[in-house]
Amino acid sequence: MGVGIQVDKLNAWFGKTQALYDINMTVAANHATAVIGPSGCGKSTFVRCLNRMHETIPEARATGAVRIGEVSVYNGTSAVQIRRRIGMVFQKPNPFPTMSIYDNVAAGLKLNGFRDRRRLDEIVERSLTYAALWHEVKDTLKKKSGASLSGGQQQRLCIARALAVEPEVLLMDEPCSALDPISTGKIEELIFQLKERFTIVIVTHNMQQASRVAEFTGFFLLGKLIEFDKTEKIFTTPSDKRTEDYITGRFG
Amino acid sequence: MRSRFHQELDDLRARLLRMGGLAEQAVDRACQAYIERDLKRCHMVLEGETQINLVEREIDEMAFDLLAMQQPMAVDLRFILAVTKINSDLERVGDQAVNIAERVMDMVELPKADLPLDIPRMAAAVSAMVRRSLESFIEGKAELAQAVLEMDNVVDRMKDDAFITLVKTMNENPAVTRQALDALLIARNLERVADHATNIAEDVIFWVRGADVRHNLGQEDAPAAQAATERH
């Protein structure tokens, strides 16, 4: 089951440049929350701070508190442990090109020393089923490489790979921006179903996508969370003029 | 910036104003025809209905295309929804003007009767409501629209008074029953026009503030009320 995320006074910097300012947000468990905003507004930085992926960038640092369920992200827990609880899917599908479909999904578990073959088979099948890819690849699991799949299938493979380690939260950073409308539709349908088991935070430039998949939406601008509310409210009657100007295309 | 989209919204606005002008003109002509027992004006109203129907369809097509092609959000979405509803109300205003013109044509065939009813006063009040509802749309001002809502009660009372007075007239002087009935129907038509003006005002408030004030269910605390500065 997914867990909620509590963000309090989150600030982030890249060197001397501040990227996030005092972000407070409560992400509901087992719901999809969309993060929108113009390029450079800090939305990707924000989700990366949720599982400390920002630490992979030199000179990046963050202050404040993030809690994933009962676990404090910035207080004593290792980044590896955090990332096991929070899976991440990126803009461009990035399957391991030399690995089979099966090994791509099993990679995280194997890295953690998981060796039970029968159990591994079960988890791979379950993860691919969750990612709505099982029926398309079940006959070529160990024969085909991940890179041989179509773009949409590769992205679902990456989702399956993230789900295999049984995270509680799934972060998706523009997961459909490189996909055609049919693949995008499949991923969106998948997000809808995954909410039953995981908490999802999705960064998207596509506002229609945010309105289709997310129950809650946050609008970022210049590193600040301008407005956070139910999605239907954000897209029909936003409270802040800056939100309205952005979603109606008057700037950005 | 979605400049082409916003240009298309401006075109839609301009088209609705054209529709508003036609509907307003139809009501004014019909009322003037009543006052002057003028058949020529009645025919102008009947002929004008074709144009109103044509523009109604054009506006619906423009709005439909914008919804399908541009996926508007927030104030733009509310604007387009408001336009389609106002468009429908204006077409109905045109229908009411036709009804009035047809009653006048019937009355002109009959001997002139001195009815205890001030249709010109009622017509002036109704015309003012239509005009102000359209002004509130042009200006994007919810305050103007709110004022229209408050005028509706006055017209309702006029229609109720007309009903009582004319029924009494019909009882006391059966010779003018047909004329009284025509006048009663005209009062009813005018009251309907006022209802459409009220609907238009409610749609303007929805567009500007994001608040649904229909059926006296006001939501003054609607979030968009804070976001919405007056539209231009």
pLDDT for the residue A252: 61
Q: Is residue B228 part of a domain?
A: no
A236–B210: do the CB atoms touch at under 8 Å? yes
Number of domains chain B contains: 1
Phi, psi values for residue B61, rounded to 5°: -65, -45
Q: Which of A57, A79, A76, A75 is nearest to A66 (CA)?
A: A75
Range of the domain at B143: 3-223
A235 closest CB neighbour out of B5, B73, B226 = B73
Q: What is the pTM of this model?
A: 0.81
DSSP alpha helix (H) spans, chain A: 43-50, 79-85, 101-111, 117-130, 134-137, 151-164, 181-194, 207-213, 231-236, 241-247
d(CA A208, CA B127): 42
A207 to chain B, closest Cα gap in Å = 9
Residues in chain B: 232
Q: Which of B22, B192, B186, B170 is nearest to B105 (CA)?
A: B186
Is the minimum CB–CB distance between B223 and chain A shorter than 8 Å? yes
pLDDT for the residue B214: 81
Q: Are A43 and A87 in contact (CB under 8 A)?
A: no
For the segment(s) A5-97+167-247, the CATH number from 2.10.109.10, 3.40.50.300, 3.40.50.800, 3.40.50.10490 is 3.40.50.300
pLDDT, averaged in runs of 10, over chain A (252 residues): 92 96 97 96 95 92 94 88 90 92 94 90 94 94 94 93 93 90 89 92 93 96 97 94 92 70
pLDDT for the residue B221: 45
Q: Residue A216 has what DSSP assignment?
A: E
pLDDT for the residue A81: 87
pLDDT for the residue B3: 80
In chain A, which residues have their Cβ closer than 8 Å to the Cβ of B226? Answer: 239-240
Chain A contact residues (CB < 8 Å to B):
207-208, 211, 229, 233, 235-241, 243-244, 247-251
Residues in chain A: 252
Q: Is residue B12 part of a domain?
A: yes
Sequence-distant (6+) residues with CB within 8 A of A76 are none
Tell me the β-bridge partners of A145.
A100
For residue B218, give the CATH number of its domain: 1.20.58.220
pLDDT in tens, B24-80: 999 999 999 999 999 999 999 999 999 999 999 999 999 999 999 888 999 999 999
Q: How many CB atoms lie within 10 A of CB B216?
A: 6
Half-sphere exposure of A61 (CA within 13 A, CB side): 5
In the block, tokens 């996909």 appear at A179
Q: Is residue B113 part of a domain?
A: yes
Is the minimum CB–CB distance between B2 and chain A shorter than 8 Å? yes
CB pairs under 8 A between A and B: 57
Instruction: Find the helix packing angle between A151-164 and A117-130, rounded to 10°.
Output: 130
DSSP alpha helix (H) spans, A13-150: 43-50, 79-85, 101-111, 117-130, 134-137
b/e map B186-212, b = 16+ CB within 10 Å: bbbbbbbbbbbbbbbbbbbbbbbbbbe
pLDDT for the residue B2: 66
Q: Residue A218 has what DSSP assignment?
A: E
Q: Is residue B232 part of a domain?
A: no
d(CA A193, CA A173): 18
In this prediction, the answer to ipTM > 0.90 reads no
Q: Is residue B229 part of a domain?
A: no
A244–B227: do the CB atoms touch at under 8 Å? yes
d(CA B95, CA B75): 30
B76 closest CB neighbour out of A237, A241, A248 = A248
pLDDT in tens, chain B (232 residues): 568 899 999 999 999 999 999 999 999 999 999 999 999 999 999 999 999 999 999 999 999 999 998 889 999 999 999 999 999 999 999 999 999 999 999 999 999 998 888 899 999 999 999 999 999 999 999 999 999 999 999 999 999 999 999 999 999 999 999 999 999 999 999 999 999 999 999 999 999 998 888 877 654 444 454 454 445 4
Q: Are A41 and A223 in contact (CB under 8 A)?
A: yes
Q: Which of B3, B6, B69, B75 is the best mutation test for A, with the most CBs of A within 10 A?
A: B75
Domain spans of chain A, in order of start? 5-97+167-247
